[in-house]
């Protein structure tokens, strides 16, 4: 099982808006001892969105999706999720209730009586049409919910509500002020049992005047000796403040990672490499 992120919207790919979701999702996951395994950007193309969701829904991953769940012509995510699952879109009763509350609140703010049968308000209800079997995600900002679905073949929706280990997709609007609290809610509601289950330790040094090819045998030896550790090497081009260097380190299970770091420093000393703490 892994955590993934799908960010949907032409405005991100065209540069009209700068994506803020990726760094925030990293922060939300990290604060719970979790990490992001993959991320994808997808434009407002129904065929591509459907194909992407078909692929990710066939996994056991827990996936956050942002964007395209409104009811304007360029919003396709709800329909594509239903198509990928092979189920119809249905007006969710709790979504209908929450959207009704929003309609009432909006009318009250204007000093009006809500007209639930107006064309505008009937159209608003389309934002509550989710794939059959979906559950709503509360929206603390304006009450119009997102939705969650269980990946096919993982578990039933009933069991998914009782375990953190069900693969699921969680769909939220593209607006950060709405999406981020909604993602935190689904993590705390559905996946809390996964929090802080795999503690990680990461340590690194900055190595100067060395080629990655010269460091590769040391890196391979460390990963072979410590199977719960990954060795990373991040070259940096020099600038006015610092020479060319490599950020070389280890990350993984704390006990093995600590031992691997000692081994890494010893190996650098044997190579007479110049390094300092990162």
* Fold exhibited by the domain 201-277: Alpha-Beta Plaits (3.30.70)
Residue 161, pLDDT above cutoff 80: no
Could you report the per-residue pLDDT of 124-158, keeping only the tens digit for each? 999 999 999 999 999 999 999 999 999 996 655 55
What pLDDT, on the 0 to 100 scale, is given for residue 165?
Answer: 53
Question: Residue 77's pLDDT is what?
Answer: 98
pLDDT value at residue 158:
52
SS3 readout for the chain: CCEEEEEECHHHHCCCCCCCHHHHHHHHHHCCCCCEEEEEEECCCHHHHHHHHHHHHCCCCEEEEECCCCCCCCCCHHHHHHHHHCCCEEECHHHHHHHHHHHHHHHHHCCCCCCCCCHHHHHHHHHHEEECCCEEECCCCCCCCEEEEECCCCCCHHHHCCCCCCCEEEEECCCHHHHHHHHHHHHHHHCHHHCCCCCCEEEEEEEECCCHHHHHHHHHHHHHHCCCEEEEEEEECCCCCCCCEEEEEEEECHHHHHHHHHHHHHHHHHCCCEEEEC
Residues 188-195 have a mean pLDDT of 93
Fold agreement (3-194, 201-277) = no
> What is this structure's pTM?
0.86
Quote the pLDDT of residue 238.
85
Q: Where are the domains of the chain?
A: 3-194, 201-277
**Topology of domain 3-194, CATH:** Molybdenum Cofactor Biosythetic Enzyme; Chain A (3.40.980)
- Whether 215 and 232 have beta carbons less than 8 Å apart is answered as no
Is there a contact between 169 and 149 (Cβ–Cβ < 8 Å)?
yes
Q: What would the pLDDT profile of 221-278 be if each residue is shown by its tens digit?
A: 999 999 999 999 999 998 888 999 999 999 999 999 999 999 999 999 999 999 999 9
Mean pLDDT of the chain: 93
pLDDT tens, position by position, 10-25: 999 999 999 999 999 9
Cα–Cα nearest to 127, from 142, 140, 112: 142
Task: Express each pLDDT in 26-52 by its tens digit.
Answer: 999 999 999 999 999 999 999 999 999
């Amino acid at each position: 099982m892994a955590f993934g992120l799908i960010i949907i919207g032409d405005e991100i790919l065209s540069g009209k808006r700068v994506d803020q979701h990726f760094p925030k999702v990293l922060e939300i996951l990290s604060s719970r001892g979790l990490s992001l395994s993959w991320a994808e950007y997808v434009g407002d193309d129904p065929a591509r969105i459907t194909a992407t969701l078909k692929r990710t829904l066939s996994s056991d991953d827990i996936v956050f999706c942002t964007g395209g769940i409104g009811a304007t012509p360029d919003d396709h995510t709800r329909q594509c999720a239903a198509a990928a699952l092979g189920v119809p879109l249905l007006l969710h009763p709790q979504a209908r209730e929450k959207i009704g509350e929003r309609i009432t609140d909006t009318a009250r703010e204007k000093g009006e009586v809500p007209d639930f049968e107006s064309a505008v308000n009937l159209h608003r209800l389309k934002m509550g049409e989710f794939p059959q079997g979906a559950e709503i995600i509360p929206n603390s900002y304006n009450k119009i919910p997102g939705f969650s679905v269980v990946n096919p073949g993982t578990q039933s929706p009933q069991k998914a509500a009782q375990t953190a280990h069900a693969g699921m997709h969680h769909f939220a609007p593209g607006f950060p002020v709405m999406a981020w609290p909604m993602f935190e809610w689904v993590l705390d509601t559905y996946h809390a049992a996964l929090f802080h289950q795999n503690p990680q330790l990461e340590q690194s040094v900055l190595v100067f005047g060395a080629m990655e090819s010269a460091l590769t045998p040391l890196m391979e030896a460390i990963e072979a000796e410590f199977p719960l550790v990954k060795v990373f090497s991040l070259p940096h081009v020099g600038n006015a403040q610092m020479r060319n260097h490599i950020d070389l380190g280890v990350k993984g299970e704390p006990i093995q990672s600590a031992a691997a770091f000692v081994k890494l420093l010893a190996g650098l000393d044997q190579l007479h490499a110049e390094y300092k703490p990162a």
